[in-house]
Amino acid sequence: MRFVFDGFLEEHYALPLRVAALVVILFFGIFFVLKGTAKIIEETTGVLSHRTKLAGGMLQSIGTAFPDMVLGVVAAIISLRLAKTDYNAAVNYAIIAAATTFGSNIYNIGHAFWCVLRQNLANKIGKSILMFPFIKGLGTVRPIKEHAVKPNLEEFDNSIDILNVLTILTAVVAISMVLFGKVANPPSSTNGDLYQMVRPVGFVIFFLGVFFMYRFRRAKREEHRLSVEEEENYYQKKSNKVIFFHLLFSGIAIFLAAETMVNAVKVFSDITGTPFVVTGILAGIIGCLGEIIVIHNFTINPRGRLGDALVGVAMDNIVTTIGASIVAIMGGIFLGGNALILIFVIILTLNTMLIWQISKLKNYFLVFKKVE
């Protein structure tokens, strides 16, 4: 996909061929590459977490957040290259970098909120429900009482703690951009104020993000006998080196697929005249698809790893925020005033809503254990 179809997106090819290549890349990338690598991440992180006692959510977040980080960094590099020759284009690419890194957190947290919301509804009515109403192909959510292996309560606590950390980091970024990052002379093409995430704040966010990743690195799941499905897992009989290689390969595959898909989205933008900001938002969706698929799979195919998956979602967003801090250190994070307000308000709101739903799920589980 990266080395064959990507070439047909170039301008010297006929428009129908470019559109066909665009459709093939997006379809194949979403339904084959990202879905397949998400399955590998799901299976490998379960085995590694069991063997190393590291949090499976942290392991999966490193693989699934990789595209968000790299896409933002690549956009920042392009922005810096254009800074002296085409300042307007440089700012546009910097906006793409910001929309990719922070925008992906919106979709990631939003989908996790929906998954936990549906799980709570299934628990409340005591029967299985579709993940998305009227769409059978996207899976069914079963009540926790029907799960063969139950989630661990400490993982729910861990996910809430990490989401609170994420809320604080996001608020620090937003406040610092408003207080210290207003651009004195924005380009003429920019409507309204323009804000930058300044380099000192980038360093602070980077070190805080790494510290909290280390702080929550340990798994909280209780040891339990592996289910038949887990015992038959292909990776149970493989060495840690082989598993780490496959996990690394999955991260690289996700990156190559995401890079090609973002290029396809950019071509779509060029063909249709879609603004750069929208292109960045679409790139954010593509970058977080891996984690969305993982939390989705752990919800409809529960093996006691729902809490682990929630830790992964929160960790993924911290890794993405670390990526944003790296881009800021490079000097490539810009957002317009309206976009800044909307993106950060939505992230903070969704964080609060997800914490609310996880708390409800934890309360249900406490009651269920007492009844048991």
Give the DSSP letter string of 142-185: PPGGG-SSPPPHHHHHHHHHHHHHHHHHHHHHHHHHHHH-B-SS
Cβ contact 102:344 at 8 Å: yes
> Contact 108/292 with Cβ under 8 angstroms?
yes
- Ordered by where they begin, the domains of the chain are 67-224+277-371 (1.20.1420)
* Listed residue (133, 77, 75) closest to 103, CA to CA: 75
Q: How far apart are CA 342 and CA 359, in angstroms?
A: 26
The pLDDT, as a whole number, for residue 42 is: 61
- Assigned token pair, 251: 């991260």
Q: Among residues 356, 362, 342, 359, which one has the least CA distance to residue 105?
A: 342
DSSP at 192: S
Q: What's the alpha-carbon Rg for the chain, to the nearest Å?
A: 21
Task: Catalogue the long-range contacts made by 130-133 (C-beta closer than 8 Å, 24 or more residues apart).
Answer: 131/296, 131/299, 131/300
Count of H-run helices and E-run strands, the chain? 12, 4
- pLDDT score at 225: 43
The beta strand positions in the chain, using DSSP E, are: 129-132, 135-141, 194-196, 334-336
pLDDT in tens, the chain (372 residues): 666 677 777 777 888 888 888 888 877 777 777 667 766 766 776 676 666 666 555 666 565 566 666 666 777 777 777 777 877 777 777 777 777 777 788 888 999 999 999 999 999 998 999 999 988 888 899 988 887 777 777 888 888 998 999 999 989 988 888 888 888 777 666 667 788 888 898 899 999 988 988 887 665 555 444 444 444 566 777 787 887 788 777 777 776 776 677 677 777 777 887 776 677 777 777 767 767 877 888 888 776 678 777 887 888 888 888 877 887 887 766 666 677 678 888 889 999 999 999 999 988 877 766 655
Rounded alpha-carbon distances, angstroms, from residue 363 to 136, 301, 355, 359, 369: 29, 22, 12, 6, 10
Q: H/E/C letters for each residue in 66-116?
A: HHHHHHHHHHHHHHHHHCCCCHHHHHHHHHHHHHHHHHHHHHHHHHHHHHH
Query: Residue 193 carries which side chain, given as an amino acid letter?
Result: D
pTM equals: 0.78
Token look-up 């933008």 returns: 269
- CB within 8 A of 151, min separation 6: which ones? 144, 302, 304, 305, 306, 307, 308, 365
Question: H or E segment at 214?
Answer: helix 199-215
